[in-house]
Amino acid sequence: MTSEEEVSDDGNVTITKYDPTPLERGWLFSIISVGSIFGTLTLPFLLTKIEIRKIMTIYGLISSLATLFTPLCASIGYVPLLLMRFLQGFATSMSSTSVGSITSQWSTMKESGFFIAILSTHFQFGNIFTMPIAGALCESRWGWPSLYYLQGTLTAIVSIAFYLFYRDDPYWHGFVSNNELSKIEEGKVKIASRDGNNTKNKKNAPKKVPYKAIFTDFVVWGTVMGITFIRFGFLLFVQFGPFYLNKVMKFDIKSTGIGSALPYVGSIVLKIIVGQLSDRITCIPMKLNLKLFVTIASLFLVLGNLSLVFLTAEYSFLAQIAFIIVISFTDNTQAQWKVIFIGISIIIFAGTIIFNIVADVEPRKWVKNSSIKNTNLPNNEISIISLPDDEKKSKNDV
């Protein structure tokens, strides 16, 4: 990383500009994914020891501290900055797990798809807020560090608020009535009592995780590979998209910030629509339903990337439209980026084909074989804790 200093006209203010090498810039982007992998690997252990509410708060505070210390670490050197980026990626690994856990506990069976769609918009809302603010602050007298101080402070506030208001189980939440609780838990299968001292609860504890069966299942590997290819193509452009708009399509910094945020507005709208449709479309099998929506989303990604291949800086408005399509669904030359877009399109297409070949919606054999004894779990129902018939919720218990 190289740096240069500029002294203001009054001679009192020194501004340091950081210019990482292409290799360093690549690692600053990719280290977030490395941190996310490490964060994901720690989750299975933490989930057996700590409740989701505490884990989310811990990961949120890690993200907050890493964001707040980023400007300081950037002024120190490349390695400290790389560490902060790693911690930011580590903290983001909790987002998908929390969406699944919160949905299983708080959503009704009929609205689980819509619930997931709403919760997963955190990614879009984060970018809608950050991109325009980043463009404005980077050109303000406070500079880019002010963005990190703002984001780090807001993350800490939200994490603490989550800990204070959220409960892992709606049964223990003081604002949930008996009527609401019964609607939430309708159709869910009871596998354990909420009484922590209940010996039956310990006897019915799940057996050891069948790791061998999981890692030798071609459906697992095929699904992981397919989704990885699709996500790779998506995230590559998400991270480098603003860079492309600014360096290649010649958007100024403020326009780049606004332009980078616009696609996420469309993404939120589509997520809400798709979430509703996935819950209400019952005329086609669930397996076909899943493959259909994944294929449509991937198709828009491919078309968006390929359309950018043929656009030049003179057609920046059309490039913005293509960029919106992509998100919703080195030397910085146009020729080099064409290779990138074509490569991304091929990767997304390959991932979609792999996913459609192996994807399945039925529980695997190793799931059924490791199920809790003396508990009959229908294939079309989710196994989670539900309210025992002989228990009545009392506000005195909350």
- The domains of the chain, with CATH numbers, are 1-7+15-186 (1.20.1250.20), 207-371 (no CATH)
Q: Is the pLDDT of residue 102 over 80?
A: yes
Residue 8: per-residue pLDDT: 43
- Phi and psi dihedrals of 17, rounded to 5? -105, 135
Counting beta carbons within 10 angstroms of the beta carbon of residue 151, is it exposed (0 to 12), middle (13 to 18) or buried (19 or more)? buried
CA distance 265 to 241: 16
H-helix or E-strand spanning residue 93: none
Region 291-301 average pLDDT: 63
Q: Is the pLDDT of residue 87 over 50?
A: yes
CA distance 147 to 133: 7
Query: Nearest 5 degrees, angle CA 319-CA 320-CA 322?
Result: 65
Q: Is the pLDDT of residue 315 over 90?
A: no
Answer whether 203's CB lies under 8 Å from 271's CB: no
pLDDT in tens, 179-200: 888 888 887 765 555 554 443 4
What sign results for the dihedral spanned by CA atoms 136, 141, 145, 151? negative
Q: Who wins on pLDDT, 34 or 277?
A: 34
Q: Who wins on pLDDT, 25 or 292?
A: 25
Instruction: Quote the distance between the C-alpha of residue 85 and its chain's center.
Output: 16
Q: Is the pLDDT of residue 72 over 80?
A: yes
Q: Is the pLDDT of residue 326 over 90?
A: no
Region 273-286 average pLDDT: 66
Confidence of residue 100 (pLDDT cuts 50, 70, 90): confident
Q: Who wins on pLDDT, 115 or 234?
A: 115
Q: Who wins on pLDDT, 177 or 262?
A: 177
Q: Is the pLDDT of residue 319 over 50?
A: no
Rounded mean pLDDT of the chain?
A: 71
Structure tokens at 322: 């293509």
Structure tokens at 343: 């490569």
Residue 156: per-residue pLDDT: 96
CA distance 298 to 304: 10
Region 221-244 average pLDDT: 71
Confidence of residue 125 (pLDDT cuts 50, 70, 90): confident
Q: Is the pLDDT of residue 324 over 50?
A: no
Residue 161: per-residue pLDDT: 95
Q: What is the DSSP string of 218-268?
A: HHHHHHHHHHHHHHHHHHHHHHHHHHHHHHTS---HHHHHHHHHHHHHHHH
Q: Who wins on pLDDT, 137 or 252?
A: 137
Q: Which of 16-20, 86-90, 337-341 has the highest mean pLDDT?
A: 86-90
CA distance 88 to 245: 24
Confidence of residue 234 (pLDDT cuts 50, 70, 90): low
Confidence of residue 153 (pLDDT cuts 50, 70, 90): very high
CA distance 266 to 128: 11
Region 351-358 average pLDDT: 78
Q: Which of 17-21, 92-96, 304-308 has the highest mean pLDDT?
A: 92-96
Least confident range of 226-240, 333-347, 363-377? 363-377
Confidence of residue 338 (pLDDT cuts 50, 70, 90): low
Q: What is the DSSP string of 291-353?
A: HHHHHHHHHHHHHHHHHHHT--GGGHHHHHHHHHHHHH-----HHHHHHHHHHHHHHHHHHHH
Residue 380: per-residue pLDDT: 39
Region 255-278 average pLDDT: 65
Region 56-63 average pLDDT: 94
Residue 301: per-residue pLDDT: 59
Confidence of residue 155 (pLDDT cuts 50, 70, 90): very high
Only one residue has tokens 């399109």, namely: 345
Residue 68: per-residue pLDDT: 96
Residue 181: per-residue pLDDT: 87
Percentage of the chain surpassing pLDDT 90?
13
Q: Is the pLDDT of residue 265 over 50?
A: yes
